[in-house]
Copies of this chain bind each other. A is one copy, B any other.
Amino acid sequence: MEKTTREKLIYAATDLFRRKGYSAAGLTEILQAAGVPKGSLYHHFPGGKPDLALETARWAGRYLSRLMEEAFQESTSFKEGVTRICNAIADIHDARGAWDFCPVTGTLLGGPADERFRLAALEIFESWVKLSKTHAIRLGMAEARAELQSRAALLLIEGAWITARADGSADIIRRIPDMLEA
């Protein structure tokens, strides 16, 4: 049941990239948090920091996809699904001390203007929109509206994730459902 070195690195990197952003999070700091020696990183991530960031963001992307999927599965309306998602994110936020970025934003968009980063972020965002849209339709929404609402939800969540950092509170995230139909 031991965590592998690779997993330790991804966990630590996820934590630090979302808390400080890609550029501000030092490799030394990550290695130390992971309890992994310097040289090991490049064995598992030959491309260094960028490689680690890409893996980290994808891992977080899948994690949030699962969270969304479960939220929608348990819901009987689109709004309920979004509410569950926002509450879950807000809870995580509260638990972590509220200096968080969205893991994708902090990790990939907080980094250098690197095309690989941009594409990876785009792919993750689009996968979220698609997932949301699918459930919106399943729950009875017309396609055009499902698309717009899903995209709006993404923007609101990303925007809230940003301003929550300034607020020092996750409250704004919990108000998103009301905004969606305002």
Contacts and interface: CB of A to CB of B under 8 A. Distances in A.
A166 B112 contact: no
B24 A148 contact: no
Nearest to A115: B168
Grouping DSSP codes into helix (H, G, I), strand (E, B) and loop, the A interface class, with mixed when no group exceeds half, is: helix
A162 B165 contact: no
Contact of A19 (B113, B122, B157, B168): B113
Copies in the complex: 4
Contact of A162 (B23, B109, B166): B109
A20, A145, A152, A175 — most chain B CB neighbours (10 Å): A152
Interface residues of A, number: 45
Contacts of A179: 148, 151-152, 155
| Across the A-B interface, the 3 shortest Cβ-Cβ residue pairs | A155-B159, A159-B159, A158-B159
Interface of A: 19-24, 99, 101-102, 105, 108-113, 118, 121-122, 125, 145, 148-149, 151-152, 154-160, 162-163, 165-168, 172, 175-176, 178-180, 182
